[in-house]
Amino acid sequence: MVLMSTRPGVITEIVEVPLPEERWAVRRDSPQLLEVARYVSNRIADEVRKAQLAEQEGGYS
């Protein structure tokens, strides 16, 4: 999974997803799935906070 920043075209991280290719076989409450989802959600929240701070400070430089 490729995570991108709020700035266009900037890749911040490539996240390995340790789940089988048959994703339909993974339960939605699987600890592995929840761990990946939580991690990605936290990274997205970090990017949103950075963007909000940059906007308050007058935009990106």
pLDDT at 15: 94
pTM of the model: 0.75
Within-domain flag for 42: yes
| 48 Cα distance to chain centroid | 11
Does residue 21 register a pLDDT over 80?
A: no
Does residue 54 register a pLDDT over 60?
A: yes
Average pLDDT over residues 38-47: 95
Within-domain flag for 61: no
Within-domain flag for 10: yes
13 token code pair: 């991280």
Domain containing 39 equals 2-17+26-56
Q: Compare 29 and 11 and report the one with higher pLDDT.
A: 11
Within-domain flag for 47: yes
Does residue 42 register a pLDDT over 90?
A: yes
What is the domain count for the chain?
1
**What CA–CA distance (Å, rounded) separates 34 from 7?**
27
pLDDT at 59: 67
Within-domain flag for 40: yes
